[in-house]
């Protein structure tokens, strides 16, 4: 049973790659947004 879950982050610099419906995120720093 899969549940939908979303979490937001504030990032400080980095790189995002989207390839074949897959997202890769490399960041220098991240904090979770409440």
- Predicted pLDDT of residue 1: 55
Q: What is the domain count for the chain? A: 1
Q: Domain residues for 25?
A: 1-34
Is residue 19 a contact partner of residue 28, using CB atoms and an 8 Å limit? no
Structure confidence by residue, pLDDT tens digits, 6-32: 889 999 999 999 999 999 999 999 999
CA 7 vs CA 21, 33, 34: distances in Å: 19, 8, 9
CA 33/CA 10 separation, integer angstroms: 6
pTM of this structure: 0.49
């Amino acid at each position: 049973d899969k549940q939908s879950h979303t979490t937001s982050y504030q990032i400080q610099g980095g790189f995002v790659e989207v390839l074949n419906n897959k997202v890769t995120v490399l960041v220098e720093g991240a904090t979770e947004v409440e």
